[in-house]
């Protein structure tokens, strides 16, 4: 059973004559969306697309009928070709037969323009995700500027629309209520409800944050009630560590006797920051520099350049702690993830001296070249009655990978050894410790550490700056110590003293 059924005209998926072995618009879109699903997390919608060349007058196969019946959403690749296809219209009618006249279940991907009043009624009023802009300059050939042309994306906006589409489908997919979607981080992020012109960016940001295991407030699927807006906003802000605001040109609806919603949330977040005596709560503002202005039907959209600080000034005054970004949506999402890693609160180590016993298993994550140091550390841990787990290096590659993955999934804690291994290898391994659920674990690591071992180096001296607190709980530099003594081991093995530090 599929979550998303793609309805499209075969003529919209023809490869370019310049690239006869390349992909058409729909095939490229399908593959790219599936890739984005993998980037957004382990829970992915299932896509069904008929790839057989079926004549327009042929009957539906049982497979197509069943796919339409079981799909949660119909994704329509809208174009003049889709409008002219009886087959596509039959897919729409069949979907309606099983799911009713429900606009919420239909997602429109605009390949080329179709006037709203010429569309089927279920598709009217749907802005969807347009992969083109209109070109109606009377001095030029009338038509659409398509973001995908001659077999490949030709406009940077293609990737923006694609990522927004994938994030939207991930967010909207039905999920079993008893199934946890992501490993929770315990962190709460306030994402301000946007005006209508920033809804697409809001959906992408919310999907990304939830995908990382964070809790987003206010509830992303519900609107803030106008009659109790301040109360709801303040309650959400009280539990959040930062507030994220997406600024377009509109200010949103205004509760009675209050500022418009976009301005109100900025003001309440500023008030929350003023009450934070530790000075940690702050606002993160995205005011994209490049802004598309949608004109009336007789004029094509145009693009203007904005200054993020001036955009913020239209809505609220700038605060000293504000983080203001104006780059593309994808780069803003990357910045937000990195920023959250930097400001992550230290995680309490749940393993203390009184817990250490013969059943405690610490996986000594190391490269082949650091085997000797890891073996020495393993012997020292055994003397402390801690069970060391060592990765395997000999045997078929697939068996080695499966064995080491199982060790990582079943251990109590991890010590990453950094002796002769490269810095990039060590940092790549620690980055994978953040989302423990993706490693097949049933619970978080009780302990994640990095030990910098001989030979010494400048980067090892600065090792505490290299590893985000969301990935590593403890970093110990022993790179200038040739012998592992008991007192040095006390620095590495979690104890009540280390936990307090």
pLDDT, one tens digit per residue, over 107-163 is 999 999 998 889 988 888 777 899 999 876 555 555 688 999 888 998 989 999 999
- State the average pLDDT over residues 371-385: 89
Predicted confidence (pLDDT) at residue 68 exceeds the cutoff of 60: yes
Residue 306's alpha-carbon distances to 144, 199, 263, 327, in angstroms, are: 25, 19, 18, 11
**For the residues 432-449, what does the mean pLDDT come to?**
81
For 173, the token pair is 């997919």
Residue 384, pLDDT score: 77
Q: Which residue has the higher pLDDT, 201 or 270?
A: 270
- Greater model confidence, 359 or 241: 241
Average pLDDT over residues 392-412: 91
Instruction: Say whether pLDDT at 491 is over 50.
Output: yes
pLDDT at 189: 97
What is the rounded CA–CA span in Å between residue 64 and residue 70?
10
Which two structure tokens, joined as six digits, stand for 119?
């569309």
Helix (H) or strand (E) holding 500: helix 496-500
pLDDT of residue 334: 87
Residue 453 has pLDDT above 70, yes or no: yes
d(CA 131, CA 124): 18
Token readout for 292 is: 């598309």
pLDDT at residue 272, rounded to an integer: 96
pLDDT at 333 over 50: yes
Residue 104 is given by DSSP the state G
Per-residue H/E/C for 194-242: CCHHHHHHHHHHHHHHHHCCCEEECCCCCCCCHHHHHHHHHHHHHCCCE
| Distance (Å) of CA 265 to CA 175, 282, 337, 422 | 30, 13, 22, 46
User: What domains can be seen in the chain, in order of their start residue?
Assistant: 4-172 (3.40.50.10140), 188-342 (3.40.50.10140), 353-500 (3.40.50.10140)
* 99 pLDDT higher than 90: no
- Across the range 214-225, mean pLDDT stands at 88
Selection from 497, 496, 494 nearest residue 474 by Cα: 494
Q: What residues have CB less than 8 Å from 118, skipping those under 6 apart? A: 83
> Please, is 325 exposed, middle or buried when counting C-beta atoms within 10 Å of its C-beta (0-12, 13-18, 19+)?
middle
Q: Supply the pTM of this predicted model.
A: 0.50
pLDDT of residue 381: 85
Instruction: Say how far apart CA 266 and CA 380 lie, in whole Å.
Output: 54
Average pLDDT over residues 287-293: 87
Q: In which band, very low, low, confident or very high, does the pLDDT at 436 lie, cut at 50, 70 and 90?
A: confident
How confident is the model at residue 489, as a pLDDT? 77
Q: Is the pLDDT of residue 352 over 50?
A: no
Q: HSE of 495 in the Cβ direction (CA atoms, 13 Å)?
A: 9
Per-residue pLDDT at 300 exceeds 60: no
Q: Is residue 415 within 8 Å of residue 361, measured between CB atoms? A: no
How long, in residues, is the chain?
501
Q: How far apart are CA 432 and CA 159, in angstroms?
A: 26
CB 158 within 8 A of CB 147: yes
Contact assessment for residue 452 and residue 475, using Cβ atoms and an 8 Å cutoff: yes
Question: Residue 442 above 60 pLDDT?
Answer: yes
Q: What is the pLDDT of residue 179?
A: 40
Tokens read off for 270: 């500023």
CA–CA gap between residue 324 and residue 338 (Å, rounded): 14
- Whole-angstrom distance, CA of residue 143 vs CA of residue 147: 13
């Amino acid at each position: 059973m599929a979550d998303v059924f793609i309805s499209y005209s075969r003529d919209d998926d023809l490869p370019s004559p310049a690239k006869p072995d390349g992909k058409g618009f729909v095939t490229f879109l399908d593959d790219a969306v599936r890739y984005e699903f993998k980037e957004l997390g382990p829970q992915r919608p299932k896509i069904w697309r008929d790839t057989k060349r079926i004549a327009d007058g042929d009957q539906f196969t049982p497979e197509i009928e069943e796919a339409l019946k079981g799909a949660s959403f119909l994704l329509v690749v809208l174009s003049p070709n889709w409008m002219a296809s009886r087959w596509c219209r039959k897919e729409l009618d069949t979907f309606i037969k099983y799911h009713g006249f429900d606009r919420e279940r239909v997602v429109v991907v605009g390949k080329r323009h179709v006037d709203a009043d010429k569309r089927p009624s279920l598709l009217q009023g749907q802005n969807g995700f347009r992969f083109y802009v209109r070109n109606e300059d009377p001095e030029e050939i009338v038509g659409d500027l398509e973001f995908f042309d001659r077999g490949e994306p030709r406009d940077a906006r293609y990737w923006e629309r694609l990522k927004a589409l994938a994030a939207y489908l991930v967010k909207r997919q039905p999920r079993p209520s008893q199934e946890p979607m992501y490993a929770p981080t315990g962190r709460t992020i306030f994402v301000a409800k946007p005006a209508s012109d920033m809804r697409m960016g809001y959906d992408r940001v919310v999907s990304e944050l939830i995908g990382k295991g964070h809790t987003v407030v206010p509830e992303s699927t519900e609107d803030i009630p106008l009659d109790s807006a301040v109360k709801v906003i303040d309650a959400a802000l009280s539990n959040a560590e930062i507030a994220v605001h997406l600024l377009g040109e509109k200010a949103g609806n205004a509760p009675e006797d209050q500022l418009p919603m976009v301005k109100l949330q900025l003001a309440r977040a500023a008030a929350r920051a003023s009450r934070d005596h530790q000075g940690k709560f702050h606002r993160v503002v995205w005011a994209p520099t490049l802004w598309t202005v949608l004109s009336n039907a007789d004029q094509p959209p145009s693009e203007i350049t904005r200054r993020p600080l001036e955009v913020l000034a239209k809505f609220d005054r700038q605060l000293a702690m504000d983080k203001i970004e104006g780059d593309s949506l994808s780069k803003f999402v990357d910045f937000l993830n990195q920023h959250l890693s930097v400001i992550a609160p230290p995680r309490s180590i749940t393993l203390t001296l009184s817990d250490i016993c013969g059943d405690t298993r610490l996986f000594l994550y190391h490269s082949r070249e650091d085997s000797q140091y890891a073996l020495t550390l393993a012997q020292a841990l055994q003397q402390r009655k801690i069970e060391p787990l060592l990765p395997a290096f000999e045997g078929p590659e697939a068996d080695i990978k499966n064995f080491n993955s199982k060790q990582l999934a079943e251990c109590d804690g991890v010590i990453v050894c950094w002796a002769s291994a490269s810095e990039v290898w060590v940092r790549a391994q620690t980055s994978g410790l953040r989302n423990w659920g993706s490693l097949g674990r049933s619970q978080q690591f009780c302990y994640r550490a990095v030990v910098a071992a001989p030979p010494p180096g400048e980067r090892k001296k600065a090792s505490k700056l290299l590893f985000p607190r969301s990935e590593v709980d403890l970093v110990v530099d022993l790179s200038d110590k040739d012998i592992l003594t008991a007192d040095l081991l006390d620095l590495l093995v979690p104890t009540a003293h280390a936990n307090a530090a």
